Amino acid sequence: MYLNYELGIKNYGKNYISILTMAVVLFAYPLYYAHANTESKLRERIEARQKEIQKLEEEIVLYQKTLSQTRDQSKTLKEEIVRVETQIKKLNADMRLTKNRIGATELRIEELDGSIVENETKMDIQRRALAQTLQAVHQTDTDSLVEVLLQYERISDFFGSLEDIQNLEKSIHDDLGALRELKIILEEERASRTKQRETLFRLDQELESRRTIEESAKKSKNTLLVKTKNEEARYQQLVKEQEVKREEMLNEIQRTEDELRRLINPSAIPKSETGVLAWPIKGSVALTQSFGNTPDSKILYHGKPHNGIDLRAPVGTPLYAADSGEIWETGDTDIYPGCLSYGKWVLIKHPNNLATLYAHLSRILVTPKTSVTRGDLIGYTGETGYATGPHLHFTVYDANTVQFRASKISGSNCQYLPYGGYLNPLAYL
């Protein structure tokens, strides 16, 4: 792609063009050689990062396999401690994985920066060379025909020079095309670098979220040990007390939402159709608890219908908005001692009169009264509130029936909970 002018005009001479070409090549060669060496070293570092990433992904799969085997509430204190410790190890591996992805992205940005500098140097060399040769052509064009002829002893020499000029002009035209191609390459590289920097920013946010989630898991473990004093009898008593309070809460939610279901207006909400809502978790989705009256609901909900669906999800799984809309409210029932409910939750109101509830989260990334687009990251799954293991509880409401109330259970500390006329999520996913 470098200028290679073999022809020129006599005034500026074929020797001038040859010297110019040689200068361009000699100047560009060390730059190319240096870039090739740098690029090779960057490639090696990127490959090393990729191997570390693969190794960590395999480690996380093993942790997840262990956690999946104990996803239900542990029967003994020892089992529960082991489960929480495994969860912390997995979150720590998640953080190391994210750090390596950040490192790999930074190396790719460095690689792109080097490529951009190299191509900008090529463009600068070609621009300067073209400018000088164009000046030569322009000088010849401005000389009068008589002046030009006087410079030659023979007419044949003059016509040979004209042919040289025509060839030179064609070469200039070709190199202008090469410059335009370089410009397109640069624009694409800059766009790619911008995209990589956006990825880097998201990874930084993810790392911070995972740190927070890991700290929360450690805190939960310490709280458990304080409450039980590492004694099995105390743990079993704690589980029984939670089950009693949870049953009272379920009864209240059921009574309230049965009333609100009567307010559902079928004509004001979308018809049942696949794709009205997107799955809030990407990838393979495992349904651990379906909607309504199910065999599981008879056990877990004391015979009462389940007002949503449960999706298996390790603590820290990214959670996405099922559709565009406004963050209606967010909450955390764990800040009220003894309020065994949704834990950290997010409620989104959608333009089609549906509202979606996401519960038992480990971290919330959105704030009320802000807009989200379908597929936006809104938080991470967890097991806050009353949960028998890490999962996402997902409910769909008729938005026109949604209300926020404090619990009326005697002695309850639940100050703020979402209620509504619930619908079958599977009818819209």
What are the C-alpha distances in Å from 258 to residues 237, 253, 262, 355, 416?
32, 8, 7, 17, 19
- Mean pLDDT over 131-140 rounds to 67
406 and 322 within one domain: yes
In the predicted model, what is the mean pLDDT of the chain? 81
CATH code where residue 346 lies:
2.70.70.10
Examine the domain organization and report whether 122 and 251 are in the same domain.
Answer: no
Q: How many CB atoms lie within 10 A of CB 72?
A: 11
Do 115 and 144 fall into the same domain? yes
pLDDT at 413: 79
Same domain, 216 and 238: no
Q: Residue 267 domain-assigned? A: yes
Q: For 276-292, how does the pLDDT look when each residue is reduced to its tens digit (9 = 90+)?
A: 999 999 987 888 888 87
Q: How far is CA 259 from CA 198, 212, 248, 308, 342, in A?
A: 47, 38, 17, 17, 20
The residue from 154, 185, 220 where one domain ends is 220
Instruction: With respect to residue 3, please indicate whether it lies within any of the assigned structural domains.
Output: no
Q: Which of 191, 220, 249 is the last residue of a domain?
A: 220
pTM listed for this prediction? 0.74
- 255 & 307 share domain: yes
The pLDDT-based confidence of 250 (bands split at 50, 70, 90) is confident
Which residue among 157, 189, 220 closes a domain?
Answer: 220
Q: Say if strands 354-364 and 391-398 run parallel, antiparallel, or are unpaired.
A: antiparallel
Q: Are residues 161 and 235 in the same domain?
A: no
Residue 363: φ, ψ to 5°: -155, 140
Domain range holding 289? 231-427
Query: Do the domain assignments include residue 235?
Result: yes
Same domain, 149 and 251: no
Predicted confidence band at 161 (pLDDT cuts at 50, 70, 90)? low
Neighbouring C-beta atoms of residue 323, cutoff 10 Å: 19
By three-state DSSP, how is residue 414 classified? coil
Residue 225 falls inside a structural domain: no
Does any domain span residue 68?
yes
202 and 290 in a single domain? The answer is no
Count of other CB atoms within 10 angstroms of residue 35: 16
Tell whether 171 and 263 lie within a shared domain. no
Q: 3-class DSSP state for residue 317?
A: coil
* Number of domains comprising the chain: 2
131-134 long-range contacts (CB < 8 A, ≥24 apart) are: 132/20, 133/3, 133/5, 133/8, 133/17, 133/20, 133/168, 133/172, 134/172
Q: State the average pLDDT over residues 97-123.
A: 87
Both 215 and 239 in one domain: the answer is no
Same-domain status, 258 and 344:
yes
Return the HEC string of 95-140: HHHHHHHHHHHHHHHHHHHHHHHHHHHHHHHHHHHHHHHHHHHHHH
Average pLDDT score over residue span 151-159: 63
Is the residue at 4 inside a domain? no
Q: Which pLDDT score is estimated for 144?
A: 63
pLDDT of the residue at 182: 80
pLDDT per residue as tens digits for the range 309-350:
999 898 999 999 999 999 999 999 988 877 878 999 999 999
Q: What is the rounded CA–CA span in Å between residue 104 and residue 183?
A: 27
**75-84, 263-272, 354-363: the lowest-pLDDT one:** 75-84
Residue 7 is assigned to a structural domain of this protein = no
- Type and span of the H or E element at 311: strand 309-312
Would you report the helix, strand and coil content of the chain in percent, each value rounded to 5? 60, 15, 30
User: Rounded to whole angstroms, how far apart are CA atoms 130 and 122?
Assistant: 12
Task: Tell me if 400 is assigned to some domain.
Answer: yes
Whether residues 32 and 130 share a domain: the answer is: yes
Position 407 scores a pLDDT of: 85
Q: What is the predicted pLDDT for the residue at 283?
A: 86
The pLDDT score that the predictor gives to residue 326 is: 98
